[in-house]
Amino acid sequence: MKRAMSERHASDQEQGAWNQLAMFHARVSAMVGRSLQDRFGLSLTEYSALEALAEAPGADGLRMQVLADTVGLNQSSVSRLVARLEREDLVERNLNQRDRRGVFTTITQAGREMLGEAMPVYSQTLAAAFDRLGADPELRELVERIGR
């Protein structure tokens, strides 16, 4: 059963804040994604997946649905993402030995090495994006609130 949506409408201030946040996210994602693609052939989503897998507790990695939720993709999109990373030997899929129904994805040594090389570029580009967008009069206040 679906819950009824609230009758309340977003205020002009809420709409403006959302539009600023969406613009900020799009610009930062484009800058960081372009840098990762140019240097390592990785999309921002692929980088995020490698990072999530590297931080996964235990040796099993992450269940595919958890990885999908973590990187903001649906099940079929994360399957394609993992297949691409698997072709590059950056991740591998395995059946969990305790729960044979669950497919888990783990980062490989090559994936850890790629992530280790990409992390400084990600961090530097992210900092540059914050600096650049912090100078934009439309986004300055937002950048100051979330990034400093």
3-state helix, strand, coil in the chain (%, to 5): 65, 10, 30
CATH code: domain of residue 57: 1.10.10.10
Mean pLDDT across the stretch 40-44?
Answer: 97
On average, the pLDDT of the chain sits at 92
pLDDT band at 100 (very low <50, low <70, confident <90, very high): low
pLDDT band at 147 (very low <50, low <70, confident <90, very high): confident
Q: Please determine, for residue 84, whether its predicted confidence score (pLDDT) is greater than 80.
A: yes
Position 47 in a domain? yes
Position 112 in a domain? yes
Mean pLDDT across the stretch 84-98?
Answer: 90
Q: Where are the alpha helices (DSSP H) in 55-99?
A: 64-71, 75-87
In the block, residue with structure tokens 């990072």: 51
How far, in whole angstroms, is CA 143 from its chain's centroid? 19
Q: Please determine, for residue 114, whether its predicted confidence score (pLDDT) is greater than 60.
A: yes
Range of the domain at 45: 28-140
9-30 per-position pLDDT tens digit: 999 999 988 999 999 999 999 9
Position 147 in a domain? no
How far, in whole angstroms, is CA 90 from its chain's centroid? 16
Q: Please determine, for residue 99, whether its predicted confidence score (pLDDT) is greater than 80.
A: no
Report the number of distinct structural domains present in the chain.
1
pLDDT band at 148 (very low <50, low <70, confident <90, very high): low
Position 67 in a domain? yes
Percent of the chain residues past pLDDT 70, beyond the cut: 92
Q: Please determine, for residue 75, whether its predicted confidence score (pLDDT) is greater than 60.
A: yes
Position 20 in a domain? no
Q: At what angle do helices 12-40 and 109-134 cross, to 10 degrees?
A: 130
Lay out the sheet containing 62-63: strands in order across.
62-63, 103-107, 91-95
For residue 6, what pLDDT is reported?
A: 76
- In DSSP terms, 107 is beta-bridged to 91
DSSP classification of residue 136: S
